Every structure is written in C-alpha cells, then in structure tokens.
Amino acid sequence: MYPIVEAKLLAPDVKLFRIHAPRVARKRKAGQFVIIRIDEHGERIPLTIADSDDQGNITIIVQGVGKTTKWLNTLNTGDTILDVVGPLGEESEIGNFGTVVVIGGGVGTAIAYPTAVAMKQAGSRVISIVGARNKELLILEEELQATSDELCIMTDDGSYGEQGFVTQKLQELIDRGETIARVLAIGPIPMMRAVADVTREKGIKTIVSLNPIMVDGTGMCGGCRVQVGGKSKFACVDGPEFDAHDVDFEILIQRNSLYKDQEQKSLEQFESEQCESKKSACRLQHEHPEVGPKIGTQSNA
C-alpha cells in the first residue's frame, strides 16, 4: 500500500498527487515513469514521475480521461494506492547541449517538467513552450518559470499568454535565429507529430516521450511496442523517449485506440456508479438534513 501524502487539483480534471514510495523516490531520474494499480480489481496504468523529494515521496500529475484516471482523481490525502512500481523506463538524455526547447502540451507539461529541470541543472539554456486549450487548463506555470530561461505560454483560445499552437511559437524561435540544439516535445500525439514535422526539415534533433498502452512496464509483454526507424521497440524498456523523426505516429495512434469501446463502456459504468452513489447521498441529505453538509463537502473535496 502506498499512501497519498498530498492531493491537490491543478486544473479541472488534472490532479497532483504526492505518494509515499521510497524505493521509487530514491532512484528515479527525469523521464522515468511508474505503473500504478488502485485496488485489486484495477488495471495497471503508466504515469510519469514529475518530481520526488528526500522524504521518499514521488509526485505524479493525472489527467482524468478514462475510468482509472477519473477514479484516481477522486482520491485524496490519506487514501492509498495498492501498487506503485518503478522507476521504469530509460531516463532522459540530459546534458549541457546549448539551447534546449522543452515543449509541453496539456498534461504533457507534467512529463516535460522534470526533464526541463534536469536540463537546466546540467547547464543547458532552457526555453519552455507550454500549450493549453485555455487559461484554466494551464499547469506548472510557476515551476516552469523557475527552471526556464524563457517561458512561452500558448493557449488555443488566447485566454492567457499568446493565442496559438506550440508549433507556431517553435517556428517563431527558429525564425528569430535561435540556434536550437534539441527539442523535447511531450503532449498529445498530434502535437508531437506536428513538432516533429517542424524540426525535421531544419535537422533539429527532437525527442518525444511516447504514451502507448502498457501492462507490466518491465518488458515482458510487448503491449507497448512502437515502430521506430522501421523497427519494433518496447516503449517501457527501450523508451519512453525516442527520436521523433523516426517514430511512426500513425501506428501509435491506431494501437492506442484498440480498446476504445471497452474503455468507453468501463468509463460509462464507472460514471453511472458515481452518479448512483451521489444520488444516494442526495437522498440521505434529503431525509437526514443534519448529515447533509458533511457528505456534500466530501463529494466536492
């Protein structure tokens, strides 16, 4: 059992957890991930380690997109997670490369962040570009500000920072004559693919962190296999970071949609159960007004 020592909402449906997992905290390096399982009926899902501390805690940032992540996001400080295993995967290649552009899209920002920190510490000049749909969904602004030489914020609707996509900002940097040694892009697959397209013609080395479906995360099943440079690689042990110019993004998109129906069904079932339990809470509130506020507070927490 791994206790949650802190849980806080960063944006709608995006939650930060600090989890006590001393073995993971001690060994983890930027770019690595954990696999978690909430309870004995749960599935195993991979999540990137955003940070760790000396008290044996790791930080993960979770976006609620399906049953398991939405379920996870209902947990709070004091709750436990049944299984946390890691650190898994290869660490990011870190060094003093000159100017490094770190791009995070959506919750991918949480994955890009530890690498930005490590790059900065290693002496690289770090320009961070963060993309979000709108101001509300923007995460880790202060943290990235602290670790970047330059921080560019892009929102799709222009509600904060500049209006536009991360690729536009990247193009701007290239156009203004920045000598970019490498780009690290993490976010939705279409975003990573678009970044790869921008940098390919300029010959700028570009690294992406891939997010295929995983089961064990230790190289024993090959469920996470991706096509890189025409070869099959296991993202959990060979990656998750790969050269963006060699990745077959189309196959990744196809493989990630394999369980769409089952995922949808599982989510619907979960949400209707959540709804049921809320309804009974409402009934309880109605019949016993004195316990109402307490239950209400809990479900909103």
How far from chain centre, in Å, is Cα 215? 17
Q: How far is the CB of 294 from another protein (least distance, A)?
A: 30
Least Cα distance to 172 among 147, 146, 154 occurs for 154
Contact with another protein (CB under 8 A): which of 251, 281, 282, 295?
Answer: 251
Q: Quick one: which H or E segment has residue 280?
A: helix 260-287
List b or e across 184-213, with b for residues whose CB sees 16 or more CB atoms inside 10 angstroms.
bbbbebebbbbbbebbeeeebbbbbbbbbb
Tell whether residue 139 is among the known ligand binding residues: no
Q: Rule CB under 8 A: is residue 82 a binding residue for another protein? A: yes
d(CA 144, CA 138): 11
Contact with another protein (CB under 8 A): which of 232, 277, 298, 299?
Answer: 232
Q: Concatenated DSSP letters for 174-237? A: HHTT---SEEEEESSHHHHHHHHHHHHTTT-EEEEE-----SSSSSSS-TTEEEETTEEEEHHH
Give strand pairing partners of 59: 18, 51
CB 189 within 8 A of CB 252: yes
Q: Rule CB under 8 A: is residue 93 a binding residue for another protein? A: no
Tell me the C-alpha to C-alpha distance, in Å, between residue 62 and each of 36, 74, 174, 205, 264. Answer: 12, 11, 32, 28, 18
d(CA 280, CA 218): 42
Tell whether residue 224 is among the known ligand binding residues: yes
CB 206 within 8 A of CB 167: no
Tell whether residue 221 is among the known ligand binding residues: yes
* Region of 50-58, 79-87, 272-280, 286-294 interacting with another protein (CB under 8 A): 79-87
Contact with another protein (CB under 8 A): which of 95, 222, 292, 296?
Answer: 222
Give the SS3 label for residue 167: helix
Contact with another protein (CB under 8 A): which of 6, 13, 79, 83?
Answer: 83
202 to 221: interface string for another protein, x by CB under 8 A: -------------xx-xxxx
Tell whether residue 130 is among the known ligand binding residues: no
Q: How far is the CB of 53 from another protein (least distance, A)?
A: 17
Residue number, 141 or 241, with CB nearest to another protein? 241
Residue number, 7 or 85, with CB nearest to another protein? 85
Number of chain residues interacting with another protein (CB under 8 A): 39
Least Cα distance to 18 among 98, 152, 110, 133 occurs for 110
Tell whether residue 62 is among the known ligand binding residues: yes
Q: Rule CB under 8 A: is residue 44 a binding residue for another protein? A: yes
Residue number, 58 or 117, with CB nearest to another protein? 58
Known binding site: residues? Answer: 61-63, 221, 224, 236
Would you tell me which residues interact with another protein (CB under 8 A)? Answer: 23-24, 27, 37, 41-44, 67-68, 82-88, 215-216, 218-223, 225, 227, 232, 237, 250-251, 254-255, 257-259, 262-263, 266
Known binding site for [2Fe-2S] cluster: residues? Answer: 221, 224, 236
Known binding site for FAD: residues? Answer: 61-63
